[in-house]
């Protein structure tokens, strides 16, 4: 039996102690704890890494503090479109959705694409038609609306720029795309990522989060990775698969491979953000080149950690 391991993130960016009140900080840490609990319960009961990452991400999607599911950021046209993906390192199967609206838990729709269709990736109207065909739980626009997110859009709407929601400096602002990676007691790994994308994004813009190999990747021979950051850079750098390749072809450890990509590939071209990873031996790593990253991890021997800033 392999000692299980779980890591989660709730987004990276300009997250500095002076920008968060102690109350807000406590709420973030509690939300991260709850997600670790949701995934950890499954892993403790010898459940699968795939079930654990879905459960952890659902918990983060239901929490309006994070930019995924409820609390997703607004696009330029005032809509909220969400993207998500999930990958099972054991079977090599993957599922993804993008440009979806009103879906309560995008990560579960991504999993349904993986398990109920012969495809990997459904987008827009096709993804919504599929969601209706399987009776995926939906919510009214009001469920997803948060005043702070709307204010964030107002801040940047006329600038012609997109922004990681963590980088729009509004007091009491909300941060982050969410993700989870896990290694279960059978040594199988899985990864899941879910996001509302970038504030003020153009209608139809899709980032790295739903793209297998960029924002999400899992392979039992190497690792499971979930990313967060400025998606355009993560797409061009093919971040998650590159980390796996560095392990597979150059024999780097998980930590080395993640640091190589975060600091030597992303940072020089201006790609701000971070990523979480586990390997099939139960090692985990949480790496970011931004000021902070909402994050947490849990291991079979009971070690639990949640953190926000660079330590």
Residues binding ligand ASP (CB under 6 A): 11, 67, 164, 176-177, 195, 197-198, 207-209, 228-229, 231, 234
Distance of CA 304 to the CA centre of its chain: 19
**Quick check: is 177 catalytic?**
yes
> What is the smallest separation between the CB atom of 226 and ligand ASP, expressed in angstroms?
10
Neighbours of 218 (CB within 10 A): 35
Beta carbon nearer to ligand ASP, 107 or 252: 107
Nearest to 138 by CA among 108, 112, 103: 103
> What is the smallest separation between the CB atom of 75 and ligand ASP, expressed in angstroms?
11
Residues 6+ apart with CB under 8 A from 225: 181, 191, 216, 217, 218, 239, 240, 243, 244, 258, 275, 276, 277
Neighbours of 5 (CB within 10 A): 29
Judged by phi (left if over 0) then psi (alpha if -120 to 50, else beta), residue 172 lies in left
Which of the residues 177, 222, 299, 306 is marked catalytic?
A: 177
> What is the smallest separation between the CB atom of 90 and ligand ASP, expressed in angstroms?
25
Beta carbon nearer to ligand ASP, 98 or 185: 98
Beta carbon nearer to ligand ASP, 152 or 195: 195
> What is the smallest separation between the CB atom of 215 and ligand ASP, expressed in angstroms?
6
Instruction: Evaluate the CA torsion angle 195, 196, 198, 201 in order and state its sign.
Output: positive
Residue positions annotated with a catalytic role: 177
């Amino acid at each position: 039996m392999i000692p299980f391991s779980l890591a989660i993130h709730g987004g990276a960016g300009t997250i500095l102690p002076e920008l968060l009140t102690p109350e807000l900080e406590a709420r973030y840490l509690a939300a991260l704890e709850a997600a670790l609990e949701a995934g950890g319960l499954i892993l403790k009961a010898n459940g699968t890494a795939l079930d654990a990452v879905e459960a952890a991400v659902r918990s983060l999607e239901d929490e309006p503090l994070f930019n995924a599911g409820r609390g997703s950021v607004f696009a330029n046209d005032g809509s909220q479109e969400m993207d998500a993906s999930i990958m099972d390192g054991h079977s090599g199967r993957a599922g993804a959705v993008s440009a979806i609206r009103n879906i309560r838990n995008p990560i579960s729709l991504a999993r349904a694409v993986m398990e109920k269709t012969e495809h990997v990736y459904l987008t827009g109207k096709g993804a919504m038609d599929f969601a209706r065909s399987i009776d995926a739980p939906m919510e009214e626009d009001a469920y997803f609306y948060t005043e702070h997110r709307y204010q964030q859009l107002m801040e940047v709407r006329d600038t012609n720029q997109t922004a990681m929601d963590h980088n729009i400096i509004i007091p009491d602002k909300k941060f982050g795309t969410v993700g989870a990676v896990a290694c279960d007691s059978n040594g199988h790994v899985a990864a899941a990522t879910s996001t509302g994308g970038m504030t003020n994004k153009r209608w139809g813009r899709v980032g790295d989060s739903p793209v297998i190999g960029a924002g999400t990747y899992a392979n039992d021979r190497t690792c499971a990775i979930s990313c967060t950051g400025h998606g355009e850079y993560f797409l061009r750098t093919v971040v998650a698969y590159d980390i796996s390749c560095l392990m597979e072809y150059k024999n780097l450890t998980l930590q080395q491979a993640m640091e190589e990509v975060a600091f030597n590939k992303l940072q020089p071209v201006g790609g701000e953000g971070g990523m979480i990873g586990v390997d099939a031996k139960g090692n985990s790593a949480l790496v970011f080149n931004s000021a902070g990253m909402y994050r947490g991890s849990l291991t079979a021997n009971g070690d639990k950690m949640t953190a926000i800033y660079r330590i």
